[in-house]
């Protein structure tokens, strides 16, 4: 007795379509659950801004590894007030310091930290 060689392929196709159907139904349910979490249930963790950690990521490329000078001037003992440093961070300088490297919400914290570097 000869078996039809196409039967296993048809069975695999039917099982694949069934799997796709049931996973699609599950995905729709998960999407509704995720939407509910985004609307009001998801708590976001607020990370505090740390000036020293930020400086180690963003400032060392120009101001050197220890912020003692490199392509840019040393940040230690600048003699600038907090307000002057904040102005430089917000607006940049004509000497090469670009504006907007520090997020606007964190300029005051960063300016105070830089002004107090010894």
pTM above 0.75, yes or no: no
Q: Is 62 assigned a ligand-binding role in the annotation? A: yes
Residue-wise pLDDT tens digits, 58-102: 888 888 888 888 888 888 888 888 899 889 988 988 888 888 888
- Longest CA span, the chain: 98
Q: Is 76 assigned a ligand-binding role in the annotation? A: no
The CATH homologous superfamily of the domain defined by 51-115: Cytochrome c-like domain (1.10.760.10)
Q: Is 97 assigned a ligand-binding role in the annotation? A: yes
């Amino acid at each position: 007795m000869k078996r039809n060689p196409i039967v296993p392929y048809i069975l695999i196709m039917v099982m694949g379509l069934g799997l796709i159907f049931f996973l699609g139904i599950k995905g729709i349910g998960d999407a509704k659950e995720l939407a509910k979490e985004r609307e009001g249930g998801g708590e976001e963790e607020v990370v505090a801004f740390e000036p020293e950690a930020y400086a180690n990521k963003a400032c060392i490329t120009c101001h050197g590894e220890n912020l003692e000078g490199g392509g840019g001037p040393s940040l230690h003992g600048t003699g600038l007030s907090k307000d002057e440093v904040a102005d430089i961070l917000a607006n940049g300088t004509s000497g090469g310091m670009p504006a907007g490297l520090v997020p606007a919400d964190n300029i005051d914290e960063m300016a105070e930290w830089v002004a107090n570097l010894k």
